[in-house]
């Protein structure tokens, strides 16, 4: 089952022993990894390349590194090393509902408080090479709460990168049409708004009153409007995306567009407003998707050509990048869109997203060319902790 060229089995046992001994010894693991190719995402790839990991951090990256005494060497042979993947918009591990059905505005809700750290979905994400997740609340609230940025594995104390981050808002029909309170006509929770106009009006009212507020206590909304928190706006169809951009213009914030199924239709506007996109999952089906948005396969290629920054989100990141390449996205851009770019859009680029000195030792080892569907995951590392198949 395990494909691990030149990796002796006893090291695996050591890794397991380290796990049992607790986090401290884990992070003390020192590794030297040699790969046929290392995509550092900070410059041209090294081929071959070596990465030195110590105390959970990357301490050296070079074409050739002499092995220090006592260090464990992993030789990937022709395998390829890339940064651990970053899925910037995910609901992995969030326990029960991601939506609050009794209120429209819940800016103080924190996804972090709803995480089930033992959830299998974390291990599923890890097996696909994802090491960092941006966890966002659902879309049925006008303002749904604050995102968290976490690792998919590791000791609990070290899994949180951002506990209460950017504010997630929805500029779409979900708060009007899909909120769970409407599934039952006798619900005591039936609430506003009931249409798109209401969604936008509620946002405007909230933003305006936060701006007008003079009582001195800095609210979450106020922080978002003064650039202390990023606003992540979920919109899919072109008109909603434009509504979000108008809100940004009127209340002086630059949102990160989330989902953006029809971003390709307003790419020039997005580029000039410098609004980046956390794209909805790449699909290989045609037709229409959520809210009747028109499916378009080459968002990656066209957004890039227009000068829009974007990341792929929502699982199967390697395959998403591969299909995006097939559909017209340049290879380098697609790789950035699952590592460096999402790390930046989550504000954690100083810790993850590239293979560089000082970064967390979050690495993804592949059996070959990252851009081919026939390439598999050999193993994953989070903060110097090795995860492979037994």
Partner 1 sequence: MMRRRIHVHVLGWVLLAGWGMTSAPVAAQESLALRGGKIIPMSGPALEEGVILIRNGKIEAIGKDVAIPPDVKVIDAKGKVIMPGFIEAHSSRGMDQTNETNPNTPFLSVIDGIDPSQEYFDECRRNGVTTVAIFPGNNTMFGGQGAIVKTAGVTVNDMILKRGAGIKISLKPTAERSRMSHMAALRKELDAARIFLEEEKAKSSPKPTAASSDASREPKDDDGSTTNGFQRPPRGQRGTAPRPDAGNVDAAQVRAALASLLKGELLAFIYCELAMDVPQALRLTKEYGLKSVLVLDRDCYKAAKLVAASGLPVILEPTLVFWETQPQTGEDQQIILPEVYREHKIPVALQVTGIGSGNLFRQPNLPPTLGTNFLWYQAATLVKYGASEEEALDTITRRAAQAVGADKLVGTLEAGKDADLIILSGDPLKIDTWVEKTIVNGQVVYDREQDRKLKGLLQSDAKK
Is 295 near partner 1 (CB under 8 A)?
Answer: yes
Give the whole-angstrom CA distance, residue 266 versus residue 262: 7
Shortest distance in whole angstroms from residue 301 CB to partner 1: 8
Q: How many residues does the chain have?
A: 390
Give the whole-angstrom CA distance, residue 175 versus residue 138: 10
Token pair recorded at residue 373: 């569907």
Q: DSSP states of 66-95 as a string? A: PPPTT-EEEE-TT-EEEEPEEEEEE-TTB-
| Contact set for partner 1, span 246-265 (CB under 8 A) | 264-265
Is 268 near partner 1 (CB under 8 A)?
Answer: no
Considering only residues 68, 288, 357, 358, which one is a binding residue for partner 1 as defined by CB under 8 A? 288
Give the whole-angstrom CA distance, residue 381 versus residue 384: 6
Is 327 near partner 1 (CB under 8 A)?
Answer: yes
Considering only residues 42, 177, 181, 254, which one is a binding residue for partner 1 as defined by CB under 8 A? 177
* Options 95-103, 140-148, 208-216, 282-290: segment touching partner 1 (CB under 8 A): 282-290
Who's near 326: CB < 8 A, 6+ residues apart? none
Q: Within 13 Å, how many C-alpha atoms sit on residue 60's CB side?
A: 15
CB count in 10 Å sphere of residue 43: 10
* Beta carbon nearer to partner 1, 100 or 302: 302
Q: Within 13 Å, how many C-alpha atoms sit on residue 112's CB side?
A: 18
Considering only residues 78, 113, 192, 284, which one is a binding residue for partner 1 as defined by CB under 8 A? 284
Considering only residues 75, 204, 326, 356, which one is a binding residue for partner 1 as defined by CB under 8 A? 326
Considering only residues 57, 204, 246, 281, which one is a binding residue for partner 1 as defined by CB under 8 A? 281
Phi then psi for residue 56, to 5 deg, are 75, 5
Give the whole-angstrom CA distance, residue 301 versus residue 208: 37
User: Count of residues binding partner 1 (CB under 8 A)?
Assistant: 47
* Options 16-24, 161-169, 185-193, 288-296: segment touching partner 1 (CB under 8 A): 288-296
Binding to partner 1 by CB under 8 A, coded x per residue (else -) over 297-316, reads xx--xx-----------x-x
| Contact set for partner 1, span 113-172 (CB under 8 A) | 120, 123-124, 127
Is 372 near partner 1 (CB under 8 A)?
Answer: yes
* Beta carbon nearer to partner 1, 110 or 236: 236
Token pair recorded at residue 278: 């956390």
Q: Which has the closest alpha carbon to 56: 27, 78, 94?
A: 27
Helical (H) or strand (E) element with 167 = strand 167-170
State the residues that interact with partner 1 by CB under 8 A.
Answer: 1, 3, 120, 123-124, 127, 173, 177, 237, 264-265, 280-292, 294-298, 301-302, 314, 316, 319-320, 322-323, 325-328, 371-376
């Amino acid at each position: 089952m395990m494909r691990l060229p030149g990796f002796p089995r006893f090291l695996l046992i050591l890794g397991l022993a380290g796990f049992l001994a607790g986090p401290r010894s884990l992070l003390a693991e020192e590794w030297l990894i040699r790969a046929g190719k290392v995509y550092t995402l900070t410059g041209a790839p090294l081929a071959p390349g070596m990465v030195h990991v110590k105390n959970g951090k990357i301490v050296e990256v070079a074409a050739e590194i002499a092995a220090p005494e006592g260090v464990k060497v992993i030789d990937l042979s022709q395998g390829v090393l890339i940064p651990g993947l970053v899925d910037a918009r995910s609901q992995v591990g969030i326990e029960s509902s991601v939506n609050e059905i009794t209120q429209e505005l819940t800016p103080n809700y924190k996804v972090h408080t709803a995480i089930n750290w033992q959830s299998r979905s974390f291990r599923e994400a890890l097996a696909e090479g994802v090491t960092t997740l941006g966890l966002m609340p659902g879309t049925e609230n006008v303002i749904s709460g604050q995102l968290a940025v976490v690792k998919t594995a590791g000791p609990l104390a070290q899994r949180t990168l951002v506990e209460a981050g950017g504010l997630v808002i929805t500029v779409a029909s979900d708060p009007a049409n899909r909120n769970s309170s409407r599934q039952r006509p006798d619900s005591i929770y039936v609430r506003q708004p009931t249409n798109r106009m209401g969604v936008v009006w509620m946002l405007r009212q909230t933003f305006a009153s936060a701006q007008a507020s003079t009582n001195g206590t800095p609210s979450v909304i106020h922080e978002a409007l003064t650039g202390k928190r990023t606003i992540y706006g979920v919109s899919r169809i072109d008109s909603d995306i434009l509504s979000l951009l108008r809100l940004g213009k009127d209340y002086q914030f630059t949102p990160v567009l989330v989902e953006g199924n029809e971003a390709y239709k307003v790419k020039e506007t997005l580029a000039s407003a410098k609004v980046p996109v956390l794209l909805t999952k790449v699909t290989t089906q045609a037709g229409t998707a959520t809210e009747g948005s028109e499916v378009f396969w080459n968002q990656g290629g066209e957004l890039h050509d227009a000068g829009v920054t974007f990341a792929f989100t929502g699982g199967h990141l390697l395959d998403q990048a591969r299909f995006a390449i097939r559909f017209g996205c340049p290879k380098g851009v697609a790789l950035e869109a699952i590592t460096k770019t999402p790390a930046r859009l989550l504000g954690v680029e100083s810790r993850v997203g590239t293979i560089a000195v000082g970064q967390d030792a979050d690495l993804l080892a592949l059996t070959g060319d990252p851009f081919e569907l026939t390439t598999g995951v050999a193993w994953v590392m989070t903060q110097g902790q090795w995860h492979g198949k037994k």
